[in-house]
Amino acid sequence: MAYFHGVRITESPTPLQVPAAVDSALPVAIGVAPVHRLENPAIAVNNPALLFSFSEGVADMGYVNPKHWKKFPLSMMLFSQMRLHLVSPLVLINVWNPLKDAQEVAEIALPIINGIATIDDPMAMISGVTVHNAVNGQPDYIRENDYSLRYDGDKLLIEIADDGDIPSSTASLNITYKQATVDNVTKDDIIGGVDPATNQRTGIELVDEVFSVYRKIPSFLLAPGWSHIPEVAAVLMGKAEHLEGEFSCMALLDLPTTGAYSNYRNLPKWKNDNSYVSPYAFADWPCVAIGEQIFLASVRMAGMYGEVDGRNSGLPYEQASNKLLAMTNLCDEDGNIIPMMSIKQANYLNENGIGTFINMDGWRAWGVETTAFPGNTDIKDFERGVRRMFSFTQNVVNRTMWQNVDKPIRRLLIDIILLTGNEYMNTLQSRGAIIGGRVEFLRADNNNQGIMSGKMFFRVFLTPPNAAKELEFNFSYDPDYLERLFG
């Protein structure tokens, strides 16, 4: 040490590290949004958007009313999270590029009523509207200078500017516009991939960018309107188990609801035949309706988990099963009513790893098993609440302990990790999220060669509370109480 004469001030690291904050119910939904209603739709294609409010979602992804949700299920997702369940944030990934297949609509004349001409076409692209000058040889009118555009429901309104060049006496506007179509979107667009030349991700592969861009770990992966397709579900399940190579989360899947699969008895075989059997996936059936609004089961379950976790300070140990939700009936994806299920019928789905909905003093979600059940009976793999707590805690430990990578292996480092881990377990226990937990560093697990190569092995024991699925009360007649007749 160099010569020093005076007072020296130094600091030592705190022997207890603060656990990293991790979202327990952040959904990432991949699908189709009505971005043809945006000024610049290209910016919303394969570009994950983190949303904290309904208005942000409308601004970033567009929005359509419920009768168009089957075409644009990301609008359904936005409405369910932000307006129905009142939970945020939400990540939406739109894979549809309306510019790719838009068709030019021949010039039409629209009457002007109270200064407004109306394009009655919900697929009209705002960026594709041109208002022509009726005078031969004159240039087209200029948007924002002569007129403005905005959607009102399904109608695209052309509002004439008071101080623009369109004469006030004009009775109609000659316009052309581009009409978008979603008919060419396929499962391959949802699945996506990585361009080997540019390393650009698309579709489900963009899930890996959510953490790198927003520093948030997804809790749920959804592909509303597409997850009943086995190829899509397989990629979702794989991504959920190995998220960013470091984390894990749950895939929320839908099962088919039409044709033979409007009958609940046909679902278990379909589920097994199509390998919907992952510990990292929850499957729910069928769709649910609120009046004329049709919701996919996966969409509503994402909101329900957000509500339940919110009441538990962001800890995902409690089930959404047997919790009330707003709905009026079961239905298929087209809105055709599916008969209400009895408890026995619903339990048949549950025993095959499928969640559903029952009406018991109000509509409720029903089912606590992952899709791995009944083939996998390891409680951390088949019980939804336990599986979520394992993945959540693993993600917290991963994020928290990352700061210790490449520090010198000393007893101080071991003590810091053990103290931090066990304090976190004690906190979870005190808040009722686990029954108990501990972290250990054992000599038997760490031989000299491993330590010399930089490897440290810690054991984490974790016991979240599982659901009370079966309550039995045994009644007996006690004749001893007859003595009270003579008291």
Condensed to tens digits (0 to 9), the pLDDT of residues 234-273 reads 999 999 999 988 899 999 999 999 999 999 999 999 999 9
* 218: containing domain: 27-96+187-385
| Residue 220 backbone zone (phi > 0: left; psi -120 to 50: alpha; other: beta) | beta
CA 399-376-338 angle, 5° bins: 100
316 shares a domain with 205: yes
205 shares a domain with 85: yes
What pLDDT score does 6 carry? 86
Domain harbouring 271, CATH code:
3.40.50
What pLDDT score does 216 carry? 96
Is the residue at 81 inside a domain? yes
User: Nearest 5°: phi and psi at 19?
Assistant: -60, 140
Is the residue at 335 inside a domain? yes
Is the residue at 1 inside a domain? no
Is the residue at 446 inside a domain? yes
Residues pairing with 400 in the sheet: none
| pLDDT above 90: percentage of residues in the chain | 91
Tell how strand 250-254 and strand 193-194 pair up: unpaired
131 shares a domain with 65: no
208 shares a domain with 127: no
The answer to whether 224 and 299 are in contact (CB under 8 A) is: yes
133 shares a domain with 197: no
482 shares a domain with 339: no
**For the whole model, what pTM was predicted?**
0.94
Distance CA 216, CA 143 (A): 39
What pLDDT score does 134 carry? 81
Q: In the chain, which residues have pLDDT < 50? A: none
Is the residue at 295 inside a domain? yes
107 shares a domain with 247: no
Q: Of 351, 385, 419, which residue constitutes the final position of a domain?
A: 385
284 shares a domain with 430: no
What pLDDT score does 1 carry? 66
Q: Of 179, 195, 218, which residue constitutes the final position of a domain?
A: 179
Per the structure, how many domains does the chain have? 3
415 shares a domain with 323: no
433 shares a domain with 325: no
Is the residue at 401 inside a domain? no
Q: Of 138, 159, 179, which residue constitutes the final position of a domain?
A: 179
